[in-house]
Amino acid sequence: MDGNEPGVTETSDQRVLAVLHRMIIDNKLKAGDKISEVQVAAMLDVSRTPARLALKTLEVEGLIKKRSGRGFTVQAIQMEDIADGFEVRGVLEGLGARVMAKRGASDEVIAQLTQYVDAIDVILDSDRPGDERIANYQEMNTRFHEVIMDNCGNTYVRFVFTRLEKLPMLKLGTVVFNNERQQQEIMRLRLGNLQHRLILDAIIKRDAQRAETMMREHVNQTLLYSEILSS
């Protein structure tokens, strides 16, 4: 795939963020560990810019805390709290998909969603390195979810979600990625995009119940699929 094609990003900050999320979940980065921009750049073989951006996001999420000197300290997290947050996110995104299917989506919105789903298939089928495919997937995945959230027809869905997305790993499009098992992760993302197609099909056919059910399943299983295929 040509990195200049529309909708494909060449930056790696999203991939770096996904890997760091996974390392925190797996306890490879433990509470109290020190982490720095230079350390992340060397560990993941990236420049300091994506490392800096990823660390900034982790700080906003509350997963790391700025030290008085250079670098950050990893904070303690409760996986139960993150799981609870995903459950609420699933309810909100499911409602968004339901409302969109019930009220009907415009041709423009359907075209956008179709474009992103098709782009993900091309990305995952490409011969690019796994980490690049992950980063590009996350970009298209984020856009898919944002289009539904922003165009569902109920502005309160987005209003409520803005309070939730500031919590760790709950921002739309977040991918938790095990960099050591890229093939298994690509398999997981193929399954995720199949779910995107089913959600889109339900929206097109104005099947509100199926759209909601599929979206809730898609969101709620994010961490579970990651754990199963990374074990």
pLDDT tens digits, one per residue of 48-101: 999 999 999 899 888 999 998 889 999 988 878 888 888 999 999 999 999 999
Cα diameter, the chain: 56
pLDDT tens digits, one per residue of 183-210: 888 888 999 999 999 999 999 999 999 9
- Token output for 155: 């502005």
| pTM listed for this prediction | 0.80
CA distances from 89 to 7, 72, 79, 141, 158 (A): 25, 28, 15, 15, 11
Residues 6+ apart with CB under 8 A from 181: 229, 230
Instruction: Specify whether the CB–CB gap between 180 and 208 falls below 8 A.
Output: no
The residue with greater pLDDT, 231 or 169, is 169
Return the bridge partners of 117, or none.
none
Residue 226 confidence (pLDDT) above 60: no
Residue 9 confidence (pLDDT) above 50: no
